Amino acid sequence: MNEMAVYKIFDRYGICFRRQTLAITIEIDPDSEDLIKTSFPNERTFEPLEIPGYKLDSSEIAYLFCNYVYDTTGYKIQDLKDIFELEEINGTPFFLKIQSNEISKFWMRNHSDDSLDCIILSKQIIPGTITFRSESKIKTLGNIREISESLYIWYNKIENLGLLEIVNGDLCISQNKDFINGVNSLGQLKFVGGNLYLRNSNITELGNLEAVGGNVNFRGLELKSLGALKIIGGNALLPKKLKGSIELNSIDINGTCRFYNS
């Protein structure tokens, strides 16, 4: 077996698990119909899917993946369950749950259902879509520079986008405005290939952003300008306070532009 070939698979497609369903056992008294006992499974299992093209059992896959993580990052994990407990280290991404048609097709070669969790090591180019929800403890996107599909940040405590420069799909940021440490700038981000939705966010400046391929929604934002933005491929929904204070003639807007009070 070529260990480096398997490492390349982990690099490109991550490791995949069949999503576990929560089995609850309920016992009812047949006479009174009262509840007698409710029981839950004691422990979740972490059995990886087999790797297409390789005859490896789950223990061999686990061994190889743990070695891959150590050889790639210098960080030693003892068990595959560590993957689900190490979304971040010191607030920066480490293991990321990823959605991608290409990755799903790869792992679905030997499996008929789509209830899969695919996990990938965080790296400079993320080959799919990532979503950070309210339970995420990530503070910054760190060294991630490009996301090949979309990025969704939903009501969590991410404070900045790190070194991120390119999102090829949609970018949606929605955070509680009472969270004063939320993302307030797009930082080094230059390009969004899809739609850019910032309406329910703390964004006050667009950083280095130059082009958006789809629609933009900046309603309700405390923006003073559109910064370096030059191209909007779709419609632009802007806060009314910007009307007359920005030179829209310098921006190529392929759709319609509307201003809103909120």
pLDDT given at position 20: 58
The token pair at 51 is 């790797």
Separation CA 115–CA 20 (nearest Å): 8
pLDDT given at position 189: 98
- Please list the pLDDT of the chain residue by residue as tens digits (262 residues): 689 999 999 999 999 987 655 555 555 655 555 554 445 444 455 689 999 989 999 999 999 999 999 999 999 998 898 898 899 999 999 999 999 989 988 988 766 555 778 999 999 999 999 999 988 899 999 999 999 999 999 988 899 999 999 999 999 998 866 666 789 999 999 999 999 999 878 899 999 999 999 999 999 888 888 999 999 999 999 988 888 777 777 899 999 999 998 7
Any residues with CB less than 8 A from the CB of 231 and at least 6 apart, and which?
Answer: 210, 211, 212, 251, 252
Exposure of 244 in the CB half-sphere (CA atoms within 13 A)? 2
Contact 198, 219 (CB under 8 A): no
Where exactly are the structural domains of the chain? 1-121, 124-262
The number of angstroms, rounded, from the C-alpha of 56 to the middle of its chain's C-alpha atoms is 29
pLDDT given at position 216: 97
pLDDT given at position 40: 46
**How does 219-229 read in b/e, with b if 16+ C-beta sit within 10 Å?**
bbbebeebbeb
Q: What's this model's pTM, rounded to 2 decimal places?
A: 0.86
pLDDT given at position 241: 84
Helix, strand or coil, per DSSP, at residue 204? coil
Any residues with CB less than 8 A from the CB of 58 and at least 6 apart, and which?
Answer: 47, 48, 50
Specify whether the backbone of 237 is left (phi greater than 0), alpha (psi in -120 to 50) or beta. Answer: beta
pLDDT given at position 116: 78
Nearest Cα to 236, choosing from 214, 216, 222?
A: 216
